[in-house]
């Protein structure tokens, strides 16, 4: 019977910890940017201005229909070359980590936007009507009344 040789782990521990740190950086960045961009997409999708709502809907549907591995490959292979050619970055610049962060952020934003949109729609219309009756603009009522209540209901879904 084969037994795993645990002694080979100890010399590799610094590399494993470095990988853990990089993974945590990518994860935290993707979650924060994904929630922020997802919130903007959700508000855009609920907009009465058709082109803005259409853009958000198209973005969400495209990113939700493409596998994450494909998005990562696109951003790993295409974006670095694009940035180096268009922005004039040196090929020596290593932007693989940035490409991974952008890919994860954009992909997760599509999923977060649907969660946030559902949370916004779960708040009764009376809340926004009351805010508008008090003289608040649509954006003020969204920022001060609707989103805080919606985020409270969305926390369990956003953390999964």
Which CATH number fits the domain that encloses residue 67?
A: 1.10.3720.10
Residues 6+ apart with CB under 8 A from 29: 101, 104, 105
Confidence (pLDDT) at 92: 64
Confidence (pLDDT) at 99: 84
Q: Are residues 64 and 128 located together in one domain of the fold?
A: no
Confidence (pLDDT) at 16: 92
Q: What is the 3-state secondary structure (H, E, C) of 65-114?
A: HCCHHHHHHHHHHCHHHHHHHHCCCCCCCCCHHHHHHHHHHHHHHHHHHH
d(CA 77, CA 117): 32
Contact in structure between 98 and 27 (CB atoms under 8 Å): no
Query: 110 is written with which tokens?
Result: 């599509």
> Domain total for the chain?
2
Contact in structure between 127 and 54 (CB atoms under 8 Å): no
Confidence (pLDDT) at 10: 86
Q: Are residues 21 and 88 located together in one domain of the fold?
A: yes
Q: Would residue 2 count as lying in a domain?
A: no
Contact in structure between 52 and 59 (CB atoms under 8 Å): no
* Burial environment of residue 115 by CB neighbours within 10 A (0 to 12, 13 to 18, 19 or more): buried
Confidence (pLDDT) at 93: 63
Stated pTM of the model? 0.81
- In order along the chain (160 residues), what is the average pLDDT of each group of 10 residues? 81 92 93 94 92 96 94 85 74 75 93 93 90 90 90 86
Q: Are residues 74 and 129 located together in one domain of the fold?
A: no
Q: Are residues 28 and 77 located together in one domain of the fold?
A: yes
Q: Would residue 108 count as lying in a domain?
A: yes
Confidence (pLDDT) at 91: 64
Q: Are residues 99 and 134 located together in one domain of the fold?
A: no
């Amino acid at each position: 019977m084969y037994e795993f040789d645990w002694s080979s782990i100890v010399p590799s521990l610094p590399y494993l910890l470095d990988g853990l740190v990089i993974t945590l950086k990518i994860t935290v960045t993707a979650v924060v940017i994904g929630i922020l961009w997802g919130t903007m997409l959700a508000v855009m999708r609920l907009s009465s201005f058709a082109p803005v709502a259409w853009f958000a809907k198209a973005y969400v549907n495209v990113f939700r229909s493409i596998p994450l591995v494909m998005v990562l490959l696109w951003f790993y292979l295409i974006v670095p070359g694009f940035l180096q050619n268009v922005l004039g970055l040196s090929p020596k610049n290593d932007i693989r980590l940035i490409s991974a962060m952008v890919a994860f952020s954009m992909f997760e934003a599509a999923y977060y936007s649907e969660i946030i949109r559902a949370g916004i729609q779960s708040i009764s219309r009376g809340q926004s009507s009351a805010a508008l009756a008090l003289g608040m603009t649509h954006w003020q009522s969204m920022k001060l009344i609707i989103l805080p209540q919606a985020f409270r209901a969305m926390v369990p879904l956003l953390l999964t």
